[in-house]
Structure 1
Amino acid sequence: MTEENWQKRFDELSGILLDEMNAEGFWTGELSSSALGVAVAVAALHVHDKEAHQSAIKGGLNWLKKHINADGSFGDTPQSRGNVSTSLLVYAATNLYAGEDEAIAGLQAKLSKYLAEQGIDLQSSQVAETILSHYQKDYTFSVPILTMCGLCGIPEKEAFRPIPQLPFELALLPRNFYRLLNLSVVSYAIPALIAVGIVVFKKKRTNALARAVRGRAIRPALELLRSLMPESGGFLEAMPLTAFVCLSLVEAGYKDLEVVEKGIGFLKRTQREDGSWPIDINLSTWVTSLSVKALRSKMDTVLTPDVKEKLVTHLKEVQNKEIHPFNGTGPGGWGWTNHSGSVPDGDDTPGAILALLQLQPKSEVKKQVLAGCNWLLQLQNKDGGLPTFSKGWGRLPFDQSCADLTGHGLLALSACMEAFQDEMDRSSLKGYQRAFFRALAYLQKKQRADGSWLPLWFGNQQTDDHSNPVYGTARVLTYLKDVSACSWIDVTTRQQLQQLILAGQQFLVSVQNQDGSWGGAKEVPGSMEETALAVSALSGGRANAACVAGLQWLDDCYQQHGLKASPIGLYFASLWYDERLYPLTAYLEALGRMQTT
């Protein structure tokens, strides 16, 4: 491809991006449908009122019939290879209807064969042993899976005996104590801790003292759960989490609670026309910030002043303006979606900050940008890194600091200092600088010997350990490159950045596939997302040939398959998803960066 062809492709793709913008003036994207989400939603609707929800249940079951893999399994997305967890949950849901529907019985028979081939004995406690062994000490996902199986009659006898008791009573302690406790679930799963913990308590045999203590904790725990539920009725706007909560509460004897009523209403409203559910309603804040970032220096030729104003207005409106009831963080952060169940986090907040600084003169967004950066300062962990939701939760991986979020936060802080350092008081500026250098030290420590960084919320299903060093490295490198372009950076810091960048770029070049693409690691088949992100990270450096080869592969892939999304995202522990706008925004950013170097 020539630079002229790059421009033509950029113009074409930017037109597609504009067409994807909704009537309110921002992007919502589209998450892949989820067999796991369908299974849990069907079970929740069944136990709540089988007759009243007959149409929704039928739609979900029909979707499952159409999307079973050839080997009798289900994966997290229609593109995903099968896995035991999702297949087991679908088996449990179909167990509710296999006796009255021959087609469902046939589907379940295929699932049974697949699970048997994976060494799963559906008639014994070996089911629990397998699931608990897979997720180890993290009960965020394993206990809800086993609980749903038990509630659906898998296995028939003593299903709850091997299920660990989630200590739901500990959620009643002050929030500051949470990170010190052995909660066995990640910070964003407190609703599951409460609801699933209560139903396991109700169904499982325990000693009299434990029953007395936990029994007294149920009512206040349910009140806490009610206080955590957003107006939409969807915990985190997540279908599986909300369905697990509703299923558990109904089976525990609390069908008439407001939490259940609103949760069931959420599930009914979010079902798609094809009968499926995604894992979350959308990632609108995230894909909007990615879309703005993708346009970069060419933004003024693509977005009119009116469109930019609508985007800024939207981002200002969805910024959190009070102490958030879910994770207790102060005002200033952004969550991943515009819906009420969104929780401020350490990746969407930098994304929104950077988008605002791109879209409007700095004086127009100063208040929001400084509030967002101050929120990030409060989130930063002692190790210098940024976690996702809550400071100081380090026991389980999804609560720990991570390189990609830290790199994103580093860029946001740097861009803020670049814009406002002359207007900041001495104390505030020193605080920003201190946070910046602590974050930079964290990234230096976390860069692996081969020059790569690992991301937290993204992976690759085809790597041996499902990690994605290409994604993590490409993201961090792009952030560091943009940081190094800031004028406030001194010579010594710029040299430190260049050392990190050079090592990371050498890694990316070393793992490029022979066809010009990048997958999650060396010799892993390429995807549009990973290839485009790698090109962005390498652009303007010494690897121009690798970038040109990557763009050629992207062009060939686009002409053959269109903007094909890949399941590289991770959600709710280790649940995979793909997002329709990921390949588009990544491809646009790569083209834009190559044309400005």
Structure 2
Amino acid sequence: MKKEELEIRFKELSNILLDELNDDGFWSGKLSSSALGVAVAVTALHFHNASIHQKEIKKGLEWLSLHQNGDGGYGDTPESPANISTSLLSYAALNLYAENNPEVKATQQKLADYLFTQNVDVRSDQVAQVILNHYQKDYTFSVPILTMCALCGIPGDDGFKHIPQLPFELALLPRRFYRLLNLSVVSYAIPALIAVGIVVFRKKKTNGLTRSIRAKAEKKALKILEQLLPESGGFLEAIPLTAFVALSLINAGLRDSVIVDKGIAFLKRTQRNDGSWPIDIDLSTWVTTLSIKALGERKNEVLPERQQKRIVNHLLSVQNKTIHPFNGTSPGGWGWTNFSGSVPDCDDTPGAILALLMLAPHHTIREEMLAGGEWLLQLQNNDGGFPTFSRGWGKLPFDQSCADLSGHCLLALAKLLDAYNSDLNAKQKKQYLTAINKAMAYLKKNQKENGSWLPLWFGNQHSKNHENPVYGTARVLTYLLKTKVVLKDEPVLLKKIEEMNSAGKNFLLNVQNIDGSWGGDSGIKGSIEETALAIAALSDVKWTAEIEKGFNWLNNYYQKNGLKKAPIGLYFASLWYDEKLYPLTAYLEAISLTSFRKEIIKS
């Protein structure tokens, strides 16, 4: 692809990005509709008041009928292959209306046929074992799935018999003890632990001392749940989590709870015109910072100064200013959206820090930036890596340190140290350097033998174990590339970076497809997101032929398919999603990072 053609594409994509700005001057993006979200939301509305919510329920059921896969099952996105979890929840929701609605009955029968091909008999107690085997010791999603099934009459009148009891009474302990407990749910699922735990407790026939303890713990646990409730009514702004909480409390006899009132209002407010729901309201902070990252050093060509100031003001306005009630972290972090259910995390916080350092004079945002840096320092795990929400929770996968977040935090800390070196005292500088060294050691230790890194919140539905080493490696390499520039006076760290970079780049080059694209791993069909991010990660290498092949594939694919989204995102308990702005920002980042290299693109 010629340089002139690439410049035309950059301007074209930049204009699309500008058109995606919302009325408030930042990006909201659009998450894919979710069959799982629809199923759980419809069920919550049904149990709350099927008559009052008749219109919303009807639209949701119609969406399910229209978006059933050819094999009869449902995937997490309309572009996803069917899976047992989403299909089973959809079957349960349809079961509430199948008896009196022929269209719903027909949809449910196709779904039952699909589940039977997956060795799931919806009339048998075997349903519970299939789900529990799939999720193993992690009850974050398995117990809510089985609870909703039982409430909807799946597999029969005694569906709670095989459902494990969630220990909701543990939520009464001080938060500092959570990391020491062998909790069966991840840190961000405490609302489900409480609400689902209570309804299972009330519905399941058990005796003994633990039952007496749980009976006494109920009232206090509900008080804690109410304290976690955001103003919006949506826990984590997530439709499935909020709906699971609401339908559980309703069936536990707590329909008049403020948690249910606000949760149901949230579900009604977030239903789309076509009857569907996404899994979360949006990822506005994340896609806004991705957009700034995508433009890079070329931001001034695209964004007028007035617009840059609007983005700065918006990002500063959504920085957390208090101890957060959900994960107990200090002020200074950022969550993924501007809505109140957002929780500060270790990907959006470095993303916001890096975007703000690009957009604003450093002295004007000093206080906010150093608060963000302090927030990151406090979240670093003992292994040197960074988790998503809570330090020290390492029992289940989504609470562990991970490479892509650690690389992102590493870059943010390095940039902060560089930007505010003269403002930091000797102790603070040592803290930053210690954290940077520990993060570097973590990345080195967790780089695979083939040079790759695995991400936590992204995957590929077609690769082994649904992992995405291309995404993980591409992100970490890009962070290291930028960190190397900042740490130019640290020879020991630079040597470590070079060693990791060399192995990582070799991995990406070895898994490039023959057509020039990249998928999640070797031999996996390419996507715009994975191909563009791989190109960005290789933007400083000498292998120009491979990069050119990648750009040629992007060009051909874009001309045929436009900015087609790939379901590479992972959310709440491994739910897949796609995001409208992911292919756009990735493509722009690839161009902006390589456009200054004349030898890459034919002139």
- TM bucket (normalised to shorter chain) is over 0.9
Does residue 1:342 correspond to 2:307, yes or no? no
Does residue 1:62 correspond to 2:70, yes or no? no
Counterpart residue number, 1:218: 218
Counterpart residue number, 2:110: 110
Does residue 1:356 correspond to 2:376, yes or no? no
Q: Aligned to 2:98, what secondary structure does the other structure show?
A: coil
Q: TM-score, normalised by structure 2?
A: 0.98
Counterpart residue number, 1:181: 181
Counterpart residue number, 1:327: 327
Counterpart residue number, 1:49: 49
The 5 Å alignment of 1:520-539 reads 520-539=520-539
Counterpart residue number, 1:436: 436
Counterpart residue number, 2:24: 24
How far apart are residue 543 of structure 1 and its match? 2.1
Counterpart residue number, 1:249: 249
Amino acid at match of 1:292: I
Counterpart residue number, 1:79: 79
Counterpart residue number, 1:302: 302
How far apart are residue 123 of structure 1 and its match? 1.4
Counterpart residue number, 1:376: 376
Counterpart residue number, 1:365: 365
Counterpart residue number, 1:494: 494
> Matches of 2:147 and 2:211 in 1, distance apart?
19
Counterpart residue number, 2:203: 203
Deviations 1:436-491 (A, max 9, x none): 00000000000000000000000000012100000000000000000001155422
Native 8 Å contact 2:33 2:277 kept in 1:
yes
Native 8 Å contact 1:411 1:480 kept in 2:
yes
Deviations 1:35-63 (A, max 9, x none): 00000000000000000000000010010
> Matches of 1:488 and 1:470 in 2, distance apart?
27
> Matches of 2:115 and 2:306 in 1, distance apart?
55
Deviations 1:392-435 (A, max 9, x none): 00000000000000000000001111111122111111100000
> Matches of 2:365 and 2:515 in 1, distance apart?
44
Q: Which moved more, 1:117-126 or 1:283-292?
A: 117-126
The 5 Å alignment of 1:179-578 reads 179-578=179-578
How far apart are residue 209 of structure 1 and its match? 2.2
Q: Aligned to 1:157, what secondary structure does the other structure show?
A: coil
Deviations 1:280-338 (A, max 9, x none): 00000000000000001110111111000000000000000000000000000000000
Q: Which runs of 5+ in 1 are unaligned?
A: none
Deviations 1:538-563 (A, max 9, x none): 01212221111111111111110100
> Matches of 1:125 and 1:356 in 2, distance apart?
54
Native 8 Å contact 1:385 1:402 kept in 2:
yes
Q: Aligned to 2:213, what secondary structure does the other structure show?
A: helix
Deviations 1:69-125 (A, max 9, x none): 000000000000000000000000000000110000000000000001110111121
Native 8 Å contact 1:418 1:488 kept in 2:
no
> Matches of 1:200 and 1:592 in 2, distance apart?
53
Q: TM-score, normalised by structure 1?
A: 0.99
Counterpart residue number, 1:594: 594
Q: Which moved more, 1:541-550 or 1:141-150?
A: 541-550
Q: Aligned to 1:576, what secondary structure does the other structure show?
A: strand
Deviations 1:496-534 (A, max 9, x none): 101100110000000000000000000100000000000
Amino acid at match of 1:69: N
> Matches of 2:387 and 2:487 in 1, distance apart?
28
Amino acid at match of 2:361: P
> Matches of 1:155 and 1:570 in 2, distance apart?
29
Deviations 1:113-164 (A, max 9, x none): 0001110111121000000000000000000000000000001132101100
Native 8 Å contact 2:191 2:225 kept in 1:
yes
Native 8 Å contact 1:538 1:544 kept in 2:
no
The 5 Å alignment of 1:148-159 reads 148-159=148-159
Native 8 Å contact 2:487 2:494 kept in 1:
no
Amino acid at match of 1:494: L
Native 8 Å contact 1:286 1:348 kept in 2:
yes
Deviations 1:266-288 (A, max 9, x none): 00000000000000000000000
How far apart are residue 182 of structure 1 and its match? 2.0
Deviations 1:155-185 (A, max 9, x none): 1132101100000000010001111112200
> Matches of 1:282 and 1:487 in 2, distance apart?
35
> Matches of 2:283 and 2:25 in 1, distance apart?
15
Counterpart residue number, 2:600: none
Amino acid at match of 1:252: A
Native 8 Å contact 2:477 2:537 kept in 1:
yes
> Matches of 1:543 and 1:218 in 2, distance apart?
62
> Matches of 1:87 and 1:196 in 2, distance apart?
20
Q: Aligned to 2:242, what secondary structure does the other structure show?
A: helix
Native 8 Å contact 2:40 2:243 kept in 1:
yes
Q: Aligned to 2:465, what secondary structure does the other structure show?
A: coil
Amino acid at match of 2:112: S
How far apart are residue 31 of structure 1 and its match? 0.1
How far apart are residue 365 of structure 1 and its match? 1.6
Amino acid at match of 2:105: A
Q: Which runs of 5+ in 2 are unaligned?
A: 598-603
Q: Aligned to 2:585, what secondary structure does the other structure show?
A: helix
Q: Aligned to 2:498, what secondary structure does the other structure show?
A: helix
Q: Aligned to 1:160, what secondary structure does the other structure show?
A: helix
How far apart are residue 208 of structure 1 and its match? 3.4
* Count of aligned pairs: 597
Q: Aligned to 2:440, what secondary structure does the other structure show?
A: helix
> Matches of 2:489 and 2:257 in 1, distance apart?
55
Structure 1 residue ranges (4+ consecutive) displaced by more than 4 angstroms after TM superposition: none
Counterpart residue number, 2:9: 9
Amino acid at match of 1:528: I
Native 8 Å contact 1:87 1:115 kept in 2:
yes
Native 8 Å contact 2:414 2:487 kept in 1:
no
Q: Aligned to 1:99, what secondary structure does the other structure show?
A: helix
Native 8 Å contact 2:408 2:479 kept in 1:
yes
Q: Aligned to 2:576, what secondary structure does the other structure show?
A: strand
> Matches of 1:424 and 1:112 in 2, distance apart?
63
Counterpart residue number, 1:139: 139
Q: Aligned to 1:155, what secondary structure does the other structure show?
A: coil
> Matches of 1:577 and 1:174 in 2, distance apart?
34
Amino acid at match of 1:58: K
Amino acid at match of 2:118: Q
User: How many percent identity over aligned positions?
Assistant: 62
CA RMSD of aligned residues (A): 0.7
